[in-house]
Amino acid sequence: MNHNSRLERAWAHYMADRTSAAIQLLKELLGEDPNHAEYHSLLAACLLQDKRLHAAEYELGLALKIDPQMPFLYLLQSNILVFKNKFKQALAACDQALALAPEFIDALLKKAEILLLLNQYAEARSCLDQAARISPDNLAVTLAYADFHLTNGDIKNAETFALEALHQDAQNETANVLMGKIRLTQGNIQEAEYHAKFVILNNPNSEQGLALFSNIKARTNWFLGLWWRLNNKLANSTQFKQITYLICAYLFFNLLSQIVEDMGHKSLSDMIGYAWLGLVVYSWVAIPIYIKMLKKELDNFQFNRDF
Amino acid sequence: MTDYTIIDEPKPGKFNHLIISPLIIMFASILVPLFINLPYFGRIWIPAVWLVANGLFLGSASIVKEIIMAIAAVALWFAIIFGSVYLSELLPQSINFQSIFPYSRILSQAIFFFFLMYIVNLQSTAYSLYEYMHKGNK
């Protein structure tokens, strides 16, 4: 198979979230030609998707050395910087991509997304309008508009754009999540649940689908909702954050237990000790229980005919 | 034709049969001291040395960071324990050292386990890649 068709296959794998397959193909391609900027850049994109940040940055650096005029590289750089919460620098990287390719839709949408995160609504809107002028029927632009209006609290316009996006692609994950959020804001819990479950059934690892589902649960029962939110947060947070939570809990329980014991309340101190033990045991079983409950919810679920 | 190697991929050497999951080392370091009293503060330095050795066998890309963290974990644990003993000698007789010691023990344990878990976290990435590559080659 020639280089171009393998590169095309790697792109297809990347777009379909099959990063392991894409990485394997790119490693083969780079073994044959290590000085190809596009191979390095796509590899960086795959590594970023797998949250291998250090390796992604390294590959991006190599690609930039080979071909600094490639606009996609600056978009990728912007994605990495957003991941690291460096929004101002991410914005500068987007501008660099747009300086090289002023009609680069993905860079315009990324810029709008960052501006929205920085609460610069007018500038974000102007980026979206520019993207819409370049490509009026683009699904990504429609979705970005829906998200923009939802963030601004303009539910009616958000609904119009989300419906339009669903007309373009009813299976689209982001469109379904956005519609679910809109329905939840409107108080239509049942329909919001349909969208969330539709997303999770199509992609059980969808972080945004699971987050929406937790929010829906929180609406119906605050106590159960709190449990769902906590587990969802733990399941989706980085391992470093999980370690920090666990150590903070360890310090809190043990120091409290010691203080209470020093005050002469031995039995209360023992109870705090048992509570800590319970938390440790629970932390072992929390995620399997969460996955089991989610599976149970999805197994017993039936969509109504109108959906 | 050899494949390209990504910077964070492990490069195991001739001792790859000794590689084990870093999670097993962590659980052993928590559970074993509950049943066996390891001499010469073994419950502190053995897990750190074992993790570093595992990282070396694995050819972990973050090995330098892991070694620094392991040294910091052991050094901080000893610094807190011996520091609190030293402090107790400076304190006036009216303050009972026995009442301070349990707090310094809790603090030293928390700091030690934080560093230990951090090393395990770093090594887990390399270990999962190693496992994936190893299974892929079978």
Which tens digit of pLDDT belongs to each residue from A230-274?
A: 766 766 666 677 778 878 888 888 889 888 988 888 888 888 888
- A299 located within any domain: yes
pLDDT above 70 coverage of chain A, percent: 91
CA distance A76 to chain B (A): 18
Buried b (16+ CB within 10 A) or exposed e, A26-54: bbbbbeeeeebbbbbbbbbbbbbeeebee
- A166 located within any domain: no
- B78 located within any domain: yes
Q: What Å distances lie between residue B87 and A251, B82, B83, B96, B97, CA to CA? A: 22, 8, 6, 12, 9
* Mutation to test the B interface, candidates A243, A246, A262, most B Cβ within 10 Å: A243
* Residue A76 contacts residue A89 (beta carbons within 8 Å): no
Total count of domains within chain B: 1
Q: Which residue of B has its CA nearest to A24?
A: B3
Which pLDDT score is estimated for A113? 93
- A286 located within any domain: yes
- A254 located within any domain: yes
Find all residues with CB under 8 Å of B63, minimum gap 6, and list them.
Answer: B52, B55, B56
Judged by CB atoms closer than 8 Å, whether chains meet at A251 and B3 is answered as: no
Distance of alpha carbon B52 from alpha carbon B56, whole angstroms? 6
Domain that holds residue B41: 17-137
Report residue A305's pLDDT band, with 50, 70 and 90 as the boundaries: low
Which of A178-182, A204-208, A288-292 is predicted with the least confidence, judged by mean pLDDT? A288-292
- B4 located within any domain: no
Which pLDDT score is estimated for B66? 93
Distance of alpha carbon A210 from alpha carbon A293, whole angstroms? 12
- Kind plus residue range of the DSSP H or E element containing A174: helix A173-185
- B10 located within any domain: no
Which tens digit of pLDDT belongs to each residue from A141-175?
A: 999 999 999 998 899 999 999 999 999 998 899 99
- B8 located within any domain: no
Judged by CB atoms closer than 8 Å, whether chains meet at B106 and A52 is answered as: no
Total count of domains within chain A: 1
Find all residues with CB under 8 Å of A90, minimum gap 6, and list them.
Answer: A77, A78, A79, A81, A82, A110, A114
ipTM of predicted complex: 0.72
Domain that holds residue A244: 237-307
CA angle A265, A267, A273 (to 5 degrees): 105
- B7 located within any domain: no
pLDDT above 90 coverage of chain B, percent: 20
- A157 located within any domain: no
- B124 located within any domain: yes
- A215 located within any domain: no
Distance of alpha carbon A28 from alpha carbon A2, whole angstroms? 12
Which pLDDT score is estimated for A235? 65
Find all residues with CB under 8 Å of A128, minimum gap 6, and list them.
Answer: A108, A109, A112, A141, A144, A145, A148
> Is a pLDDT exceeding 70 seen at residue A303?
no
**Which pair of tokens denotes residue A122?**
């007018």
- B9 located within any domain: no
* Residue A120 contacts residue A144 (beta carbons within 8 Å): no
